[in-house]
Amino acid sequence: MIGTWLNAATVLLGGGLGLAFGSKLPERLRQTVLLGLGLFTALIGVRLFLQTENPLFPLAAILLGGLAGEWWRIEDRLRDLGRWLEARVAGGRQGADGGNRFVQGFLTASLVFCVGPMTILGSIQDGLTGDYHLLAIKAALDGFAALAFASTLGVGVLFSVLVIIAYQGGISLLAMHAQTVLSQPMVAEMTAVGGVILLGIAISSLLEIRPIRTANFLPALFFAPALVWFVGKIGLGG
């Protein structure tokens, strides 16, 4: 789990620098940086989706994952966690929109940092072989992103390290005990689903085009490989 701890450290460092010096940046400049990240995230999402070998897999996974996420109210629970953390940090004091800003920063950073092929593949590689080079590259990228996010979305970005440690660390620990679970087609469809979720993040949280309960689609990341396995098992994969 060395890669996960390194990733958490760079997010804390980048986020801390963003909090310390972000206020010195003009508001228009900070907005432009956030919109630039939004556009970049959207394009990365499209690029990841194009790695699918069969678009029906990510489509079915998104639909099933969305239903499960709505049933479990994942976004609401993450928001509640963000509000609880904000209350602990601020001692229960909230400005007019301080709590919403904290939650937005926590949710946006958590999803951006934890969705994508580098998260999945890097965590698996770290768990299987102890090779954390892929997560080290991701850590550098996340550190720069955390600086930009924290300068615009505030201290909630720093608390995304809790999700990074739990999510990436969990995948690495599972990989240690399930070395042959994920095949290349499974990873490809998980990557495509991650691209769809990243695009949703860009549209909702970064570009603010329209609200999307993006976190409720996270179960799709698990439905995707399950569907690939099931279809292959019943002989329809060819």
- pLDDT averaged over 10-residue windows placed end to end, the chain, 238 residues: 91 91 73 81 88 95 96 87 69 54 83 75 79 84 86 87 91 79 85 88 85 89 92 76
pLDDT at 144: 83
CA distance 119 to 35: 23
pLDDT at 54: 95
pLDDT at 98: 57
DSSP SS3 for 131: coil
* Vertex 75 angle, CA 114 and 1, to 5°: 25
The H or E element containing residue 142 is helix 133-153
pLDDT at 124: 79
CA distance 156 to 103: 6
pLDDT at 140: 84
Judge contact between 211 and 204, C-beta under 8 A.
yes
Sole residue written with tokens 């999402």: 45
CA distance 147 to 218: 25
With both helix axes pointing from N to C terminus, report the angle between 27-49 and 184-201 in degrees, rounded to the nearest 10.
Answer: 150
pLDDT at 46: 92
Sole residue written with tokens 């949280």: 205
Greatest distance between any 2 Cα atoms in the chain: 60
pLDDT at 237: 56
